[in-house]
Amino acid sequence: MATRYSYGGDEHIFVEVDEEMSLDAFFKSLSITKAVRESQIKGVAEVCPANASFQVKFDPDVIKPADMLAELKKLEDQAAHSEAVIDTRIIEVPVFYEDPWTHETLMRFRERHQDPNSTDLAYTARINGYASNEELVRAHSGAPWFVSMVGFVAGLPFLYQMVERARQIESPKYLRPRTDTPKLTVGHGGCFGAIYSVRGAGGYQMFGITPMPIYDPKQETPYLRDFMVLFRPGDIVKYRSIDRDAYDAAIADVEAHKFYPTMRDVRFALDEFKTDPGAYTGKLEDLLHGV
Amino acid sequence: MAFEVKKPGLATTVQDLGRPGYYHLGIPLSGAMDQEALIAANLLVGNDAGAAGLELVFMGPELVFRDDALVAVTGAELPPKVDGAPQPTWTTFTVKAGQTLSFDYLRKGARAYLAIAGGIDVPVVLGSRSTYALGALGGFQGRKLAAGDVLPVGAPQRQVPAGRSLHVSLRRNGLEDPAVLRMLPGLYWHRITEAAQGGFFADTWKVAPEADRIGYRFKGGNPLEFVPREPPFGAGSDPSNIVDACYPYGSIQVPGGTEPIVLHRDAVSGGGYFMLGTVISADMDLIAQLQPHKPVKFVPVEMEEALEARAERKAEIDKIKAALA
């Protein structure tokens, strides 16, 4: 991992922790951005962590760009020695895989897809060596995912699968992006998952849909009353496959403002995870379900 | 105080100076794309510089006022009319209760700003009244205006006469031909070959029809050639892909190496396309006034020049503030 610094005009510094994605790069980015926030450097306007990089927006009338850069390099040195342990949350996200709404949408944009004769999920299952759609769904909902970035549009989480790299699901983005994606579509592009927080353009493969609100600008959803965006970088997501009846029941609860996601506070230690990912994520899941 | 929208115009939105602080959750700054023009309009009618006004794009709305109001129109040359009678731009004038404020066709620029004494009094969301339409947040019900909307106006803070004008030397609404956008090369600049780097500045680009508050797309230059590489894990196979990262405001991404997109105030906060640099802060307002098909040149500058341009712009706004104090 070689950290690379670049100015983004006169108001941003862009820091690439690593060119490729890894949990190490993500944790380093997360710990430096935390240090930047805590450092109270005058002139810092926004600190945005991303998958394997981060960005600081600053006011060059308050701090010179070169001085801002020097401060960040200092914090990077300190962060390199910090332990990769975070206090975070594990959140269960119910998913209705191969639902009629994303299906209608993916059929509408079939000519923009690598494999017009297949569905997004069947295509991804095939190129990842799964024997059936069900097997892909089992892999997708089997291990948890890290929220490695929140953005693109309001409240959209990017998710990174917590398994060995060889087992990570990978799929290309659409050849040409769609102009439409249903709200709350669960998608996948490259090695990343995403949950589309709003309806709109998108290029990720569409696997299913969740009934669970994750962004509510009107703040009517009970658990989004304090803040309209659910996810934070560092959150852990566990998908659960649900059928049409369970989906409809959840939607009825959402509309009655009675839906609450299952979530628990957890401490995550990167070294322990890396020693035995399967056993470690199994323990996280036990915690989620109060075992 | 209030006014009713009779015809909404093309993409009329409520904007103030923006909503900083939530970009890390994907909620962008928003706010007037031409900040200087909104500041001038507000100060003309006696508002604070950051009061909420309307951003009018290409085609103005038709508004019926329910109460007397003092207003001013700045930015693009979009001539206002009161019950059909022409009114000056960059100058305060009165619209009486029952009268209709409408606009003639666009003469110059792309975005005009309408300030009303008292400011538009929509609810403050996350510290701002600006509209972020993609997230259905802020402004009037989180969207562009529609016929039948009734917008509340606050109580005027200062008494200002009609006919108050900003001196011509302080109005900025002209653009060179081609327009020049200064940029600081960087971010993933190294991903394209030296020949492509030179070509990017040598080419004259044209504003594409897909140009809005999220970003401005440009066409007509040569495709950029990439430095060959083994795709990093997680980036994707296209040479223009990167591991999804944050996008600075003003950053220039070139998906597939063909059409540059400069992100503006409703920017998508991140994504998986490489960026070759960032338009300097001093030139961001200029983008707001670019019409589709307008020729544009990108010109590289160093940080020092970017900071000088920034200081000059600040001095310009200070002059407007002094003139309208």
- H, E, C per residue of A56-95: EEECCCCCCHHHHHHHHHHHHHHHHCCCCEEEEEEEEEEE
Name every chain A residue with its beta carbon within 8 A of the beta carbon of B262: none
Record the tokens describing residue A114, joined without a space: 């690598």
At residue B160, does pLDDT exceed 90? yes
| Distance from the B247 Cα atom to the nearest Cα atom in chain A, whole angstroms | 8
Average pLDDT over residues A230-244: 97
At residue B69, does pLDDT exceed 90? yes
User: Does residue A28 sit in the same domain as residue A92?
Assistant: no
Residue of chain B whose alpha carbon sits nearest to that of A148: B244
User: Does residue A210 sit in the same domain as residue A281?
Assistant: yes
pLDDT at B172: 85
Name every chain B residue with its beta carbon within 8 A of the beta carbon of A7: 184, 186, 278, 303
pLDDT at A84: 87
pLDDT at B192: 98
Q: What is the pLDDT of residues B27-46, one digit of tens each?
A: 999 999 999 999 999 999 99
User: Does residue A159 sit in the same domain as residue A177?
Assistant: yes
At residue A126, does pLDDT exceed 90? yes
| Distance from the A252 Cα atom to the nearest Cα atom in chain B, whole angstroms | 23
Confidence grade of residue B236 (pLDDT, cut at 50, 70, 90): confident
- Window 244-273 of B, Cβ < 8 Å to A: 244-246, 248-251, 268-272
Average pLDDT over residues B116-134: 97
User: Does residue A154 sit in the same domain as residue A51?
Assistant: no
Judge: A9–B280 Cβ closer than 8 Å, yes or no: yes
Domain that holds residue A44: 4-82
Average pLDDT over residues B72-84: 98
CA distance B253 to A147: 24
At residue B237, does pLDDT exceed 90? no
Judge: B244–A45 Cβ closer than 8 Å, yes or no: no
pLDDT at B8: 98
Judge: B184–A150 Cβ closer than 8 Å, yes or no: no
Domains of chain B by residue range: 2-166, 179-316
Record the tokens describing residue A153, joined without a space: 């549009």
Q: Which of A10, A19, A154 sits opposite B25 (nearest CB)?
A: A154
For this complex, say whether ipTM is above 0.90: yes
Average pLDDT over residues A184-203: 94
Mean pLDDT computed over every residue of chain A: 95
User: Does residue A170 sit in the same domain as residue A149?
Assistant: yes
Confidence grade of residue A77 (pLDDT, cut at 50, 70, 90): confident
Judge: B235–A21 Cβ closer than 8 Å, yes or no: yes
User: Does residue A133 sit in the same domain as residue A250?
Assistant: yes
**SS3 of chain A:** CCCEEEEECCCEEEEECCCCCCHHHHHHHHHHHHHHHHHCCCCEEEEEECCCEEEEEECCCCCCHHHHHHHHHHHHHHHHCCCCEEEEEEEEEEEEECCHHHHHHHHHCHHHCCCCCCCHHHHHHHHCCCCCHHHHHHHHHHCCEEEEEECCCCCCEEEEECCCHHHCCCECCCCCCECCCCCCEEEEEECEEEECCCCCCECCEEEEECCCCCECCCCCCHHHCCCCECCCCCCEEEEEECCHHHHHHHHHHHHCCCCCCCEEEEEEEHHHHHHCHHHHHHHHHHHHCCC
At residue A81, does pLDDT exceed 80? no
User: Does residue A67 sit in the same domain as residue A111?
Assistant: no
User: Does residue A95 sit in the same domain as residue A52?
Assistant: no
User: Does residue A218 sit in the same domain as residue A177?
Assistant: yes
Query: What is the count of residue pairs from A and B with beta carbons less than 8 Å apart?
Result: 178
User: Does residue A113 sit in the same domain as residue A256?
Assistant: yes
User: Does residue A75 sit in the same domain as residue A109?
Assistant: no
pLDDT at A83: 78
Q: In the β-sheet with B69-77, what is the strand arrangement from edge to edge? A: B13-15, B53-57, B108-116, B69-77, B93-95
Query: In whole angstroms, what separates CA A93 from the centre of its chain?
Result: 12
Judge: A156–B26 Cβ closer than 8 Å, yes or no: yes
Average pLDDT over residues A25-51: 94
pLDDT at A1: 78
At residue B51, does pLDDT exceed 90? yes
Confidence grade of residue A194 (pLDDT, cut at 50, 70, 90): very high
Q: What is the CATH number of domain B179-316?
A: 2.40.100.10
pLDDT at A79: 81
Listed in sequence order, the residues at least 6 apart from B47 whose beta carbon sits closer than 8 Å to its beta carbon are: B115, B117, B118, B119, B156, B157
Listed in sequence order, the residues at least 6 apart from A234 whose beta carbon sits closer than 8 Å to its beta carbon are: A30, A86, A88, A146, A147, A268
At residue B77, does pLDDT exceed 80? yes
Interface test with A, best of B124, B182, B246 (most A CBs within 10 A): B246
At residue B92, does pLDDT exceed 90? yes
pLDDT at B250: 98
Confidence grade of residue A173 (pLDDT, cut at 50, 70, 90): confident
pLDDT at B174: 72
CATH of residue A151: 2.40.100.10
Last residue of a domain, one of A61, A82, A103: A82
CA distance B108 to A29: 45
User: Does residue A74 sit in the same domain as residue A168?
Assistant: no
Last residue of a domain, one of A82, A113, A144: A82
| Distance from the B240 Cα atom to the nearest Cα atom in chain A, whole angstroms | 13
Total structural domains in chain A? 2
pLDDT at B243: 94
At residue A272, does pLDDT exceed 80? yes
Average pLDDT over residues B273-282: 97
Confidence grade of residue B22 (pLDDT, cut at 50, 70, 90): very high
Q: Does B97 touch chain A (CB under 8 A)?
A: no
pLDDT at A82: 75
Last residue of a domain, one of A38, A55, A82: A82
CATH of residue A45: 3.30.1360.40
- Window 129-168 of B, Cβ < 8 Å to A: 132, 134-137, 142
pLDDT at B238: 86
pLDDT at B219: 97
Name every chain B residue with its beta carbon within 8 A of the beta carbon of A20: 232-235, 243
Q: What is the pLDDT of residues B186-220, one digit of tens each?
A: 999 999 999 999 999 999 999 999 899 999 999 99
